Amino acid sequence: MENLVKCVCQGYSSDGRGLVTVDGYTFPVRGLLKGEEAMVITRPQGKGQFIGEIKELLKPSPSRVVPVCPDYASCGGCALQHMSYDKQLIFKKNLVQSELEKQGILFDAKPCIGMNTPYKYRNKVQSSYSMDYKGRVIGGFYVEGTHQIIDIDQCYLEREEADQIVNFFKTLLEKYEIDPYDRSSNFGSVRHVVVRSAFKTNQVMVIIVTKTPELPREAVLIKDLVAKFPNITSIVHNINERPGNAVFGERDIVIYGTQYLEEELSGLKFHIAPQSFFQVNPVQTEQLYGIAIADAKLTGTEEVLDAYCGIGTIGLLAAKNARHVTGVEVVGASISSAQSNARLNGITNSHFYCEDATVFVRDALKDGRHFDVVFVDPPRAGCDFNFISALKAMKPSRIVYVSCEPSTLARDLALLKTDYDIKDIQPVDMFPQTFHVESVTLLSLK
């Protein structure tokens, strides 16, 4: 049952929603800022659980700004466009701090490093396609919490050329009468288009994801895309026949140009395969990895381990100041890219292994191998408990932990702090206008 109540925002949830308390229940309200008073519609979300929606804003905060995106209220891509950017940075610093305190870690994180221009920073864009009730092709993002696509012509987080490509592709589907895939009927072909852009080289890769093994009208799609956008150096057909929300299937077929995108980062070149992980904000990535390399304090004599190394970005940046770098990653395609990137840059003091990081460190311990410095850059789930146990047994002098999720960072630091002192925690805003935050933590062996 819905109710209309007057309430004051007391703080924020981890995903940037305002928190209010009514009749002893605390619940989130999207778009509400700390200190604001509003009339809020409450809706039950299960036993003792509620969610709120602003009906009328009574006392706005000085930190409130008008979102630049006209679709902000319905699109689920951003969460903080209504908050001034200086307050976004404070929110993110406090988010890291709050998670540390939950784990009993009494250490002050530094202020979050922001961007001069916190828009148009993404080098990877994904657009989904569907048909509206009039039978017209629409493309864009999902309405928050649904599988309903909202038709969007411009995203303010994405590079302008990427916007133009996904919108042009929408017109091609109409022109050549190619049906987008419909989940409910299991009919149609095209599921998504992903555009990857290299900011330094201006190369563009377009990945067309279909439900069907064939890409309808493949030849004319290629011809029209390349004629309209000469920066496209690669077009890939990805086949995803599986149900569910996963964007990519396992099969990538290069139908035009090269098998990779070439980008430059901090003086090195990187080949990025269609499904390889590469940070989405190249400007802030140089900040993030620069801090990580500086924290490692490499002198040229160290044995370095780059755990969860992906395509080898951190390890290769560290190699010029280390004796030797070993990278380990469980995804085989990423290791192939890392090895290729080492050759591309003439780096001979690095080796990359396709193996689970926990298994690798355990085997290294058994073999008596030792690493002086370990870089750790895990996915959002953080490090495996057994990996941390093995790492503590190995006793590297320094651990540099790059995190994209404050809660799992804090959990892992609570395990490491028995053997390591936390020396520095530096949040970096890799994702302006969203609630996500990355950070670099330096730990030193006690």
Q: Which domains does the chain have, with CATH numbers?
A: 3-64 (2.40.50.140), 92-116+281-445 (3.40.50.150), 124-265 (2.40.50.1070)
| Low-confidence stretches of the chain (pLDDT beneath 50) | none
Q: Return the pLDDT at 145.
A: 67
Judge whether 75 counts as a catalytic residue: no
Q: Return the pLDDT at 141.
A: 85
Q: What is the pTM of this model?
A: 0.93
pLDDT in tens, 75-122: 878 999 999 999 999 999 999 999 999 999 999 999 999 999 999 999
Catalytic residue among 75, 112, 155, 404: 404
Structure tokens belonging to residue 419: 């053997």
Q: Return the pLDDT at 149.
A: 86
Residue with tokens 């080796």: 351
Q: Return the pLDDT at 51.
A: 87
